[in-house]
């Protein structure tokens, strides 16, 4: 059952049943979900999260959420202080670094409010801060590939899952997730170790996503997010067969993990040799096909799953025959990442031919650092 205050929520087309409800004021309508076995939040509204926490406690329903870890991860300023305390590599903070810098609101996830700033005038324009503040995080701009990793467990018993590779659009929103990772074994091991240290430090109870950027051969942590991620679990599932949502539910339904070996066994029993996966968002508009960040999916209305979608294994889409404008999240798998990429290119080509799309756009974050080399 999906509950959302938006009557056209994307997930309303994917669930078994949908209830349109604003849960921020605590109302009697919450009885609709009293038959639930578990509640898994997929939002960042603090009032809604608090209401769900109180309601599930009263009803005795497991709540797959860690408010203490989330309180740390939902503030980039607070998270960065933790990274510094633990000695974990991060991008250097302004003003000890030079321009260009990247300025991000401390609260919230995704690309909203993110700016690359090239001089003091731009900084003062985008970030009206005159002194120390927890409202913004300002760090050196680092070009380089980004990677994501989920850690799951609690009570000091944690399991790092599969690393995925991330690609951003020109607005710093994730447009593509690829697996298995192209990181070297050495860097992958370093990333996993960092992620387990962070899970231990926040006393994680549930699941946490860790994102790094590799710069000059060093994985530097960009942010952590102690909630169920929106994109990478699907890529992990198609690559390895491990269902992060299922494992998360089992962790909270049981209330504890008897030992780490049990979690390793659960993951291992479902994990096959990793296949290549490309998970990517596209928008079709008139005569153009554009690859863009996840934001294009949020206002698309109810989405549906279509299998073998122009050659893609699966698509999550609002496409209907005759529509001039529509969006889709494409999932294409292969024997390895290159094979999946070749399949993805075939799918894009098939769409362009079928719909007569003359324009193809796949914009990425510019490498601003090249303009600042002395």
Six token digits for residue 1: 């059952």
Classified by CATH at the fold level, domain 92-141 comes out as Dna Ligase; domain 1 (3.30.1490)
Rounded to whole angstroms, the Cα distance separating 365 from 273 reads 32
Rounded to whole angstroms, the Cα distance separating 265 from 280 reads 30
pLDDT at residue 28 in the model: 53
Domain ranges of the chain: 2-63, 92-141, 146-270, 276-361
Contact 289, 275 (CB under 8 A): no
pLDDT at residue 155 in the model: 76
Percent of the chain topping pLDDT 70 = 88
Structure letter (DSSP) for residue 272: P
φ, ψ dihedrals at 260, nearest 5°:
-65, -30
What's the pTM value of the predicted model, to 2 decimals? 0.90
User: Where is average pLDDT lowest: 121-125, 311-315, 369-373?
Assistant: 369-373
Is pLDDT above 60 for 304?
Answer: yes
What angle (nearest 5°) sits at the alpha carbon of residue 350, between those of residues 360 and 314? 100
Going by their DSSP bridges, the two strands 2-4 and 18-20 should be labelled as parallel
Residues comprising the chain, all counted:
374
Six token digits for residue 127: 């970030």
| Model confidence band, residue 260 (pLDDT cutoffs 50, 70, 90) | very low
CB atoms inside a 10 Å sphere around CB 85: 9
pLDDT at residue 98 in the model: 84
Nearest to 333 by CA among 151, 136, 178, 214: 178
Contact 296, 281 (CB under 8 A): yes
Please tell me whether residue 149 adopts helix, strand or coil conformation. Answer: strand
Q: Do domains 92-141 and 146-270 have the same CATH topology?
A: no
pLDDT at residue 371 in the model: 43
Six token digits for residue 13: 């087309």
Query: Which H/E stretch holds residue 365?
Result: none
User: Where is average pLDDT lowest: 20-34, 151-165, 335-349?
Assistant: 20-34
Instruction: Quick: pLDDT tens for 84-141.
Output: 999 999 999 888 888 888 888 888 666 667 878 888 888 878 776 544 467 888 889 8
Please tell me whether residue 311 adopts helix, strand or coil conformation. Answer: coil
| Model confidence band, residue 326 (pLDDT cutoffs 50, 70, 90) | very high
Per the prediction, the chain carries an average pLDDT of 88
Correct CATH for 146-270 of 3.40.50.300, 3.30.470.20, 3.50.50.60, 3.40.630.30: 3.30.470.20
């Amino acid at each position: 059952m999906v509950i959302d205050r938006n009557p056209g929520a994307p997930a309303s087309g994917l669930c078994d049943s949908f209830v349109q409800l604003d849960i921020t004021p605590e109302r009697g309508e919450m009885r609709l979900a009293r038959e639930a076995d578990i509640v898994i939040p997929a939002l960042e509204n603090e009032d809604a999260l608090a209401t769900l926490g109180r309601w599930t406690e009263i009803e005795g329903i497991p709540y797959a959420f860690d408010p203490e870890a989330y309180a740390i991860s939902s503030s980039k300023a607070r998270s960065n202080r933790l990274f510094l305390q633990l000695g974990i590599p991060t991008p250097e903070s302004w003003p000890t670094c030079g321009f260009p810098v990247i300025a991000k609101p401390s609260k919230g996830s995704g690309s909203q409010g993110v700016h690359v700033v090239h001089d003091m005038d731009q900084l003062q324009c985008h970030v009206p801060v005159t002194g120390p503040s927890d409202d913004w995080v300002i760090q050196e701009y680092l070009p380089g590939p980004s990677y994501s990793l989920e850690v799951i467990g609690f009570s000091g018993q944690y399991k790092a899952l599969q690393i995925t590779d991330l690609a951003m659009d020109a607005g710093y929103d994730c447009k593509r997730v690829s697996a298995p990772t192209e990181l070297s074994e050495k860097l992958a091991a370093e990333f996993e170790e960092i992620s387990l240290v962070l899970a231990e430090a926040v006393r994680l109870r549930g699941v946490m996503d860790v994102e790094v950027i590799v710069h000059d051969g060093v994985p530097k942590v960009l942010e952590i997010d102690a909630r169920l991620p929106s994109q990478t679990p699907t890529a992990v599932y198609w690559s390895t067969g491990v269902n992060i949502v299922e494992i998360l539910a089992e962790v909270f339904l049981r209330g504890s993990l008897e030992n780490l070996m049990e979690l390793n066994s659960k993951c291992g029993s479902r994990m096959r040799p990793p296949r290549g996966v490309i998970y990517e968002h596209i928008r079709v508009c008139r005569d153009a096909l554009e690859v863009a960040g996840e934001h294009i999916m949020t206002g698309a209305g109810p989405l549906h799953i279509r299998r073998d979608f122009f050659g893609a294994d699966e698509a999550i889409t609002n496409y209907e025959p005759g529509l001039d404008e529509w969006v889709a999240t494409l999932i294409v798998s292969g024997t390895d990442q290159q094979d999946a990429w070749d399949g993805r290119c075939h799918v894009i080509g098939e769409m362009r031919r079928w719909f007569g799309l003359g324009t193809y756009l796949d914009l990425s974050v510019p490498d601003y650092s090249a303009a600042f080399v002395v």
